[in-house]
Structure 1
Amino acid sequence: MTDPTSGAVLRGAVDLSALRSRAAAPAPAEAASGVSLVFDATDETFGQVLELSRSVPVVVDLWAQWCGPCKQLSPILEKVVTELAGRVVLAKVDVDANPQLAQGFRAQSIPMVVALIAGQPVPLFTGAVPEQQVRDVFDQLLQLAAQHGVTGTVPVDGADAAETDAEPALPPHHQEAFDAIEAGDYARAVTAYEAALAENPRDEQARAGLGQVRLLLRVQDLDPQQARDAAAAAPLDAAAQFAVADLDLAGGHVDDAFGRLLDLFAVLPADQRGPVRERLLELFALVGDADPRVARARTRLASLLF
Structure 2
Amino acid sequence: MIELGGQQTPAPAAGDMIKDVTEATFMQDVVDASQTAPVIVDFWATWCGPCKTLGPMLETAVAKTKGAVTMAKVDVDQNQRLVQALSQQGLPLQSIPTVVAFVQGRPLDMFQGAVPASEIDAFIKRAIEAAGGDASGGLDEAVAAADEMLEAGAAQDAAETFAAILQEEPHHARAYAGLVRSYLALDQVEQAEATLNGAPVEISQTPELEAVHAQIELAKQAANAGPVAELQAKVEASPDDHQARFDLANALHANRDVEGAVSQLLELFRRDREWNDGAAKTQLFTIFDALDAKDPVALAGRRKLSSMIFA
Q: TM range, normalised to the smaller chain?
A: 0.3 to 0.5
Q: What TM-score, normalized to structure 2?
A: 0.42
The structure having more radius of gyration, on CA atoms, is 1
User: When you count helix as a share of all residues, which structure comes out higher?
Assistant: 2
TM-score for the superposition, normalised by structure 1: 0.43
